[in-house]
Amino acid sequence: MRTRFPDGVATAKQLVEAGIRERTVYRRCLDGGPWQNPLPGIVFLFSGRPTRRQLVVAALLLGGPKSLVTGAEACRRHGLRRGLVRRRDDRESIEEVDLLVPDRRQLRSVDYVHVVRTRTVPEPVVRSGIALAPLPRACMDAARRLRTDGEIAELLSDAVQQRLCTVADLSLELESGSRRHTALPRRVLRAVADGARSAAELAAKRMWPSTKLPAPMWNVEIYTGDGGFLGVADCWLDDVAMVWEIESTEWHLSPAQHDRTVERAARFTAAGAVYTASKPRKIRTDPAEVVRILRATYAQAAARPRPPLVAARSTAMSVKPLSRRETS
């Protein structure tokens, strides 16, 4: 049986086709039996706790042909980690699996499976044998279910920063899909297109008008006059060559990454840029003090000759003109 069903998950129909009587299948799923019946018509061929993979495989079997995993589960399997708050079903303590199914399928959400209907099913992206929706679709399905703009900003900017998709890809998916629950993702995507890479930077952008300083450039590549790359500045005031960094510990996932952040700051200052940094917590809890420091730093930068540094927008954050296509 394990050879035929390596994940230990099967439909009742498959088991009957394998020669087991339907009555026997469901009798084995009774309390105390060797099998389990987690979803309608789906059988776990074991009695213990299922793995996350087994839960996902069961959801796909429930969905039938052409069904795809989408939303947060698909985003994680594509490699995203930020902004994906785990939400659990209160009854089973199992996080939901978002399942994309053809609109013609008469299937409703059940237990931990949340059904998302679509008129046009995209081509699957297969990861470790699991059929996933393409990342832009998965991101937008996940974003529609997230509750705060900070969570959505973390999710969408993670996809763009890892160069797994572009802002244009996300914009196309947003414009061509269902308009339900898109007001917040739409607003956040505009901020990501303008350069916001995280919830902390989104808060920084909202705070900026209170500084009364010139409009900055966000997340731009900085070069020396002869073309040497210095790094990407979170916030850049071009008229005085000033860098403002958001020091989020989320970026420092390892000592090596922390070292790179320190080295980048050293390159900026060595090239003549005036550099300052703020913690996300400080921006949230004491914005007046952050504003005071930014104004003082700007005055310091304006008091010296501007070094020959050049800013260029990162291509990963750019938006191409959108074309419309019909799907949902």
pLDDT tens digit sequence for 214-268: 999 988 999 999 999 999 999 999 999 999 998 865 544 556 667 788 899 999 9
Q: What is the SS3 assignment for the chain?
A: CCCCCCCCEEEHHHHHHCCCCHHHHHHHCCCCCCCEEEECCEEECCCCCCCHHHHHHHHHHHHCCCCEEEHHHHHHHHCCCCCCCCCEECCCCEECEEEEEECCCCCCCECCEEEEEECCCCCCEEECCEEECCHHHHHHHHHCCCCCHHHHHHHHHHHHHCCCCCHHHHHHHHHHCCCCCCHHHHHHHHHHHCCCCCHHHHHHHHHHHHHCCCCCEEEEEEECCCCCEEEEEEEEECCCCEEEEECCHHHCCCHHHHHHHHHHHHHHHHCCCEEEEECHHHHHHCHHHHHHHHHHHHHHHHCCCCCCCEEEECHHHCCCCCCCCCCC
Q: Strands 242-246 and 274-278, how do they pair?
A: parallel
Residue 328 lies in a domain: no
For the chain, give the mean pLDDT: 88
Q: Are residues 100 and 166 in the same domain?
A: yes
The mean per-residue pLDDT over the stretch 10-35 comes to 96
If one counts every other C-beta atom within 10 angstroms of the C-beta of residue 297, the result is: 19
Instruction: Give the span between the Cα atoms of 285 and 203, in whole angstroms.
Output: 11
Q: Are residues 139 and 182 in the same domain?
A: yes
Residue 154 lies in a domain: yes
Which of 38, 42, 322 is CA-nearest to residue 177? 322
User: What pLDDT score was predicted for residue 224?
Assistant: 96
Residue 319 lies in a domain: no
Q: Are residues 56 and 160 in the same domain?
A: yes
Residue 73 lies in a domain: yes
Residue 125 lies in a domain: yes
Domain boundary among 193, 215, 242: 193
Residue 211 lies in a domain: yes
User: Which residues are 132's β-sheet partners?
Assistant: 69, 125
Structure tokens at 13: 């129909």
Question: Residue 141: CB partners within 8 Å, gap ≥ 6?
Answer: 70, 71, 74, 98, 100, 116, 133
Domain count, the chain: 3
User: What pLDDT score was predicted for residue 72?
Assistant: 95
Instruction: Give the span between the Cα atoms of 140 and 22, in whole angstroms.
Output: 40
Q: Which domain holds residue 90?
A: 51-193
User: What pLDDT score was predicted for residue 255?
Assistant: 67
Residue 324 lies in a domain: no
| CA 254 remoteness from chain centre | 20
CB 242 within 8 A of CB 236: yes
Q: Are residues 234 and 247 in the same domain?
A: yes
User: What pLDDT score was predicted for residue 280?
Assistant: 87
Q: Are residues 137 and 181 in the same domain?
A: yes
Q: CB-side exposure of 259: number of CA atoms within 13 Å?
A: 3
If one counts every other C-beta atom within 10 angstroms of the C-beta of residue 277, the result is: 14
Q: Are residues 94 and 37 in the same domain?
A: no
If one counts every other C-beta atom within 10 angstroms of the C-beta of residue 103, the result is: 10
Where does the pLDDT of residue 315 fall: very low under 50, low under 70, confident under 90, or very high at 90 and above?
low
Percentage of the chain lying above the pLDDT 90 cut: 68
Residue 261: which CATH number? Answer: 3.40.960
Which of 217, 222, 218, 235 is CA-nearest to residue 272? 222
Burial class (CB in 10 A: 0-12, 13-18, 19+), 7: middle
Residue 160 lies in a domain: yes
Q: Are residues 10 and 118 in the same domain?
A: no
Q: Are residues 150 and 213 in the same domain?
A: no
Domain boundary among 193, 226, 250: 193
User: What pLDDT score was predicted for residue 85?
Assistant: 66
Q: Are residues 42 and 69 in the same domain?
A: no
User: What pLDDT score was predicted for residue 204?
Assistant: 92
User: What pLDDT score was predicted for residue 212?
Assistant: 98
pLDDT digits (tens, 9 = 90+) for 123-146: 999 999 999 999 999 999 999 999
CB 139 within 8 A of CB 153: no
Question: Residue 80: CB partners within 8 Å, gap ≥ 6?
Answer: 135, 139, 155, 158, 159, 162, 164
The mean per-residue pLDDT over the stretch 49-59 comes to 97
Q: Which of 258-262, 273-277, 291-295 has the lowest mean pLDDT?
A: 258-262
User: What pLDDT score was predicted for residue 208?
Assistant: 96
Q: Are residues 61 and 27 in the same domain?
A: no
User: What pLDDT score was predicted for residue 93?
Assistant: 61
